[in-house]
Each structure stands twice: as C-alpha cells, then as structure tokens.
Amino acid sequence: MRDPRIDLKTPWLAALLAFLVPGAGHLYQGRYFKAAVYSVCIIGMFITGMRMSDWRAMYLHHPPPGERLRGNRNRLQFLAQFGVGAPALYALLQNKRYYGEDNVDRTTIDAPMTADFEGELNSSADDLQNAYVTGTIQLEPAENEFGSETINGRLVGTREDGTPIELELISRIELDKPVRADARRDIDGTIYKMTEEGPRAVGTLEGTIPRSFLNWFVAPVETKQDREMHARLGKFHELAMVFTWVAGLLNLLVIWDAYDGPAYAYGDETDTGDTDSGKKSEESEKPAGEDTKRTPAEATA
Amino acid sequence: MLVLAQLGVTWYLFPLAAVISLVYSATRYEAPARILSRAGKLFLQILFFMAVILGVLMLLSFRL
C-alpha cells in the first residue's frame, strides 16, 4: 500500500520522465531529494563510464536483414544500458542511421562547407615537404573533366614549424561516412599545383575534420575502433562498460519508484525489523490518520 | 578521474559501491535520513563482502 504522504501525481508520466532522464520523474512529483540523488548518481555514473571509454561505451549493432554486421553483436550489453533512457533511444536511432543506405564514404557534397583541418601532408615536390598541417579547409561541389560530380577544396593553414601553407585540392577528395563513432571525420585528397600545362598532382593530404556531435554520439562502434579501444584502455574499457550497465539497471529501480513509490516504507516508522525484509511496517499501512498527516519534514524531524 | 586512473581499477569500487548503495536505498524508503543511514550500512556491507572475497582469493593463491 502506498504511503499517503507521497504524491505520485500521474504515475505513468513520472515513470516515463524517470526513464528518459534519471531523476526527472521524481522532480515532477516534487520528491526533490530523491531527484537529486538519482540524477547525480545515475547520470554521473553513466557519464563517467562514457567518458572513460572515449564516449563509446553505449551503442547498438543491429543491422537490417541482409546487411553485414560491422561490429560486435552487443544486444545484451545494450539491454542493460537501455534503462538510462534518452541516450539509449538515440542509440537506436543512430544504429538505424549508421546502417542507412546513404551512410557511405562521400566523394560528393551538396553544399559548400568550411571546417577546421588537421592532418598529414605527403609530397615529393620541391616546394612542398611532408609535414603535419593544421588550418581551415573549404570544400565545394564541383565537376571533374568527365562531367562527374566531385569535390574541390582549398586548405589554408600552417605547418608544425609555423610556416604558412596554401593547398589546392582538385577532385578526388574523399570524406568519411557522415555517421560513425568518431568525433573526427576522415578526409583525404590529392594536392594539385597549377602549371602552364594545367593542374599537376604533387602529393596527398590525409587528415580529419570535426564530425557533428549528433553524428557520432552513441553511434555503432566498428570492429577496428573496438580493438583499438581495447588495446588503448585495457581494463578501464571493461570498467566503463560496467558503469554504464549499472547505471541502466539502477534506473529500472528508479522508474518503478517513480511509478509505485518506495518498495518498503516511508522510512520514519519505528524499526520493527520488518521493513528490511520487504514488509511495510504496521504504521505505514495505516490509513491516513494522525501520523500519516505529518509532512515529510515533520516526519523526519 | 585522472588521479583515480593512476590508482588503478580497484579504487573505482568505492564510488561504484556508494552509488549502488545510495540509489538502492533511495528506492526502498522515502525519508532522506533513513535513506542515508541505510545507504551507509549497505555501503559497508558491500565493502566487507568484497574484502572477504579478496581475503579468500589471496588465501587460495598463496604461494602460487
């Protein structure tokens, strides 16, 4: 029997809010202490786990029928994490986007774009040397000499030693797929130098540009990325997974608490020893009477 | 986090046990004082249990 001092308001709505954002259901019900405990503990634990794993602890690999699996099948792991709500729902969407037909490496773009670039310049030309380059890259849709759609670009930046550099990239620019579990998006292209005979290839540029948060967050981790992560993080990767699993599983208890109230009792009753075994104390089972009219503040005093 | 990372994986047990104790106790009771006291006891119980397991494992691996 619910303690009449606890106003659960609309229980199903509170449960839904608790699922979407741990603590939000209790905040809606005015149970502020619990809302703070749940949000700090569960969101904190989830974020800690994600941070420890370079934000790659949560994802789902569930390819559509006929599609090759590009990572570890992790349905049980995801099931444990699912309780954290909103990120898990977004992971479902990211799985769908990742395995979508249009999520492939790109050699064309729809509109011009500008992005911060960092990467390696490889060239054997006299006035260009191999160097690590950072700067701004501008890309625009173009057509090659055969009339096919392609990407042209221009990089303005500096080498490691601080000397400025400007490079022309004419066609043959390839961009990594839009949705992938990496905050940086690979880009590579051929560097051209304008000569009297026309543009001449003088080297290659391989690097990365930022990927939008919504395109990498909880996106499926590929086998190669997973192996690299295991090798780099070791036991901390396992620990990160445990943190996210525990966060998801604990939130299931929280959702039930938002829906049906605390499992044992209010907690201000005389300790008869029954409450810890799951039985509510006699006092808490009384109908709204003298004691049950007390406010929580009075009750805890 | 970096400090904890240098100390090793085992030390993450403490915040993990604390969070589990606090959230579990909060889902059992409503009164903050009761939640905190039960969480404290549960936290110590978890640590005691883990210490016992550690002791058993150390005994079993003695001179191996």
ipTM of model = 0.88
The predicted structure's pLDDT at residue A1: 63
A247 and A271 inside one domain: no
Least confident piece of the model among A106-110, A275-279, B27-31, B54-58: A275-279
Q: Are the beta carbons of B22 and A242 separated by less than 8 Å?
A: no
Distance CA A284, CA A2 (A): 8
Counting the structural domains of chain A, the total is 3
Distance CA B6, CA B17 (A): 19
A35 and A87 inside one domain: yes
A137 and A279 inside one domain: no
Q: The tokens of A187 are what?
A: 């880009």
A120 and A205 inside one domain: yes
Question: Measured between alpha carbons, how far is residue A273 from residues A16, A263, A265, A267 in Å?
Answer: 33, 15, 12, 12
Are the C-beta atoms of B32 and B58 separated by less than 8 Å?
Answer: no
A295 and chain B in contact, CB less than 8 A? no
Q: Are the beta carbons of B31 and A34 separated by less than 8 Å?
A: no
* Residue A225 falls inside a structural domain: yes
Provide the domain limits for residue B21.
2-60
Phi-psi region of A157 (alpha: psi -120 to 50; beta: other; left: phi over 0): beta
- pTM > 0.90: yes or no: no
Best mutation target, B4, B34, B36, B46, to test chain A (most A CBs within 10 A)? B34
Q: Are the beta carbons of A262 and B27 separated by less than 8 Å?
A: yes
Residue A184 sits in a domain of what CATH number?
2.30.29
Distance CA A2, CA A238 (A): 39
* Residue A104 falls inside a structural domain: no
A117 and A65 inside one domain: no
Distance CA A160, CA A135 (A): 11
- Contact list, A243 vs chain B (CB under 8 Å): 12, 16
Q: Are the beta carbons of B12 and A239 separated by less than 8 Å?
A: yes
What is the C-alpha R_g of chain B?
Answer: 15
A255 and A274 inside one domain: no
Counting the structural domains of chain B, the total is 1
B52 and chain A in contact, CB less than 8 A? no
The predicted structure's pLDDT at residue B2: 52
* Residue A105 falls inside a structural domain: no
Flag residues of chain A having pLDDT under 50.
274-275, 277-301
> B62 CA to chain A: closest CA distance, Å?
24
The predicted structure's pLDDT at residue A123: 86
The predicted structure's pLDDT at residue B5: 54
Q: How do A174-175 and A164-170 pair as beta strands?
A: unpaired
The predicted structure's pLDDT at residue A287: 44
Provide the domain limits for residue A269.
264-300
A120 and A211 inside one domain: yes
Given A215, A245, A278, the domain boundary residue is: A215
* Residue A48 falls inside a structural domain: yes
> A25 CA to chain B: closest CA distance, Å?
13
A48 and A95 inside one domain: yes
* Residue A85 falls inside a structural domain: yes
Q: What are phi and psi for residue A109, nearest 5 degrees? A: -135, 155
Percent of chain B having pLDDT more than 70?
89
